[in-house]
Amino acid sequence: MSVDKAWKERGVGDLKINIRPGHSSNGNKTTARFLLRADGSHRVVLNSPINKLIKVQDPTGGPPKGRTACFAAFDMEGKLTLMQVKVCFSIFFF
């Protein structure tokens, strides 16, 4: 079995953290997910649960610095995959 380590761009869009408060259907546990939809097509690029075991690091394995972070998440096929996210912040004034 070979492992493809080539970089594959999945899309650009806003990374959101959806938090669902606890209620009786999930045992009163609060759950959270990463959600990323591609700009333009709104195709789901990332939809993965967040838990306490997820470690966010820089690409070399150290603490995140700069605008790039890596973490393990489930891809759209349900496989655990290393994701690399480049973060840009936008500030909106109303």
Domain assignments of the chain as residue spans, ordered by start: 15-77
Instruction: Specify the length of the chain in residues.
Output: 94
pLDDT confidence band for 75 (50 / 70 / 90):
confident
30-34, 74-78, 87-91: segment of lowest average pLDDT: 87-91
pTM above 0.85, yes or no: no
Instruction: Look up residue 55 and give its amino acid.
Output: K
By CB atoms closer than 10 A (0-12, 13-18, 19+), residue 28 is exposed
Any idea what the Cα angle at residue 37 is, between residues 35 and 42, rounded to 5°?
145
Percent of the chain with pLDDT strictly greater than 70: 78
Task: Output phi, psi for 25, to 5 deg.
Answer: -70, -20
CB 69 within 8 A of CB 63: no
Regarding beta strands 44-50 and 15-20, do their DSSP bridges make them parallel or antiparallel, or are they unpaired?
A: unpaired
